[in-house]
Amino acid sequence: MTPAERELYREETCQYCGVAGHIAKLCWWVLKRSNQHGDLPQALTALTLDNIITETEWISDTGASNHMTGNPSMLKNIRNHYGSDSVHIGDDSSISIHGIGDSSITQKNKILPLNDVLLVPDLKKKLLSVSQLTTQFPVNCEFSDIDFCIKERQIGQLVITGWRKGDLYTLSTMPDLYFSNRFRLGPADIWHKCLGHPYFSTL
Mean pLDDT of 52-62: 83
Return the higher-pLDDT residue of 12 and 64.
Answer: 64
Q: In the chain, what are the domain boundaries?
A: 1-37, 38-195
Contact 120, 69 (CB under 8 A): yes
- What CA–CA distances, in Å, run from 71 to 28, 103, 109, 122, 203? 31, 11, 24, 9, 52
Backbone angles phi, psi at 174, to 5 degrees: -90, 130
Provide the pLDDT confidence category of residue 68 given band limits of 50, 70 and 90: very high
Mind listing the pLDDT tens digit for each residue in 89-125?
766 778 889 999 999 998 888 889 999 999 998 888 8
Mean pLDDT of 133-141: 91
Q: pTM of the entire structure?
A: 0.62
Mind listing the pLDDT tens digit for each residue in 142-191?
999 999 999 999 999 999 998 888 888 898 877 544 444 554 445 555 55
Cross-strand partners of 95: 87
Name which of 176, 172, 58 is nearest 109 in CA terms. Answer: 176
